[in-house]
Amino acid sequence: MPIAVDIDVMLAKRKMSVGELAERVGITPANLAVLKNGRAKAVRFTTLAALCEVLDCQPGDLLRWEAEDAVDAEDPAAPVDA
């Protein structure tokens, strides 16, 4: 997926655990892990806003776009369109 999630970067900068962030945002640690690991198909703006509030950051600090070619180069198991 061309959208990369950098929640782990912000967690490290804020010296915060996944469990603490999940509790403060009001979501389960499992759902936060799905989002953090880039497996989520969508994220509600309310959740994104809560993440930004707790982490004191902007949405662009948590999400970034990557070109498909760059994503495929990182994951050799990624399907290739023929």
Instruction: Look at the pTM and tell me if it is higher than 0.85.
Output: no
81 compared with 54, residue with greater pLDDT: 54
Q: How far is the C-alpha of 31 from the C-alpha of 74, rounded, in Å?
A: 24
φ, ψ of residue 29 to 5 degrees: the values are -60, -35
Confidence label for 82 from pLDDT (cuts 50, 70 and 90):
very low
For 15: left if phi > 0, alpha if psi spans -120 to 50, otherwise beta; the answer is left
d(CA 17, CA 78): 30
What are the residues whose beta carbons fall under 8 Å from the beta carbon of 46, sequence distance 6 or more? none
Q: What tens digit of pLDDT does each residue of 13-64 get? A: 999 999 999 999 999 999 999 999 999 999 999 999 999 999 999 999 999 9
Tokens of 71: 């994503």
75/11: higher pLDDT: 11
